[in-house]
Amino acid sequence: MSDAHLGHVHLKVTDLDRAVEFYTGLLDLAVTERHANFAFLSFGDHHHDLALQAHKGASSPPPQSTGLYHVAFELDSLAAVGDAYEWLADREITVSPVDHGISKAIYFDDPDGNGVELYVDTRETEDGRWNGENSRFDPARR
């Protein structure tokens, strides 16, 4: 399995239009294909990096249940993390900023309660390891 890599993420949502607007606005993804209950979004190199599937009236899993904790998108700079933070703040979405020492990240839920992380890698070397410490940082300061 050494040639394996993550191909895409597929999220269940309750409102497809709202989810498409959220992810295209936040991450500048392009819609490559759309059907009644599905939308496929891409950063540009593949048909889709994110698939959205609508399940109207579906309930969210209980908070302490097993399953996907969050999907993480790596951004290219701390400024991009700050821009995303402002975009989310403008929409009154609660964000938790965390400095992991090896990355700076913001965590939040999408409109359907799916966990999302946006981060920039701040490791100084490829083999930099997380030491288990976390602290808060101000993503508005760049």
> pTM of the prediction?
0.90
Q: In the predicted model, what is the mean pLDDT of residues 18-37?
A: 97
Task: Indicate the average pLDDT of the chain.
Answer: 93
Residue 142: the pLDDT is 65
Give the chain's domains with CATH numbers: 1-56 (3.10.180.10), 69-142 (3.10.180.10)
CB 88 within 8 A of CB 46: no
CB 113 within 8 A of CB 101: no
Q: How confident is the model at residue 105 (pLDDT cuts 50, 70, 90)?
A: very high
DSSP 58: P
Residue 68: the pLDDT is 86
| Structure tokens given for 13 | 């949502």
Q: How confident is the model at residue 51 (pLDDT cuts 50, 70, 90)?
A: very high
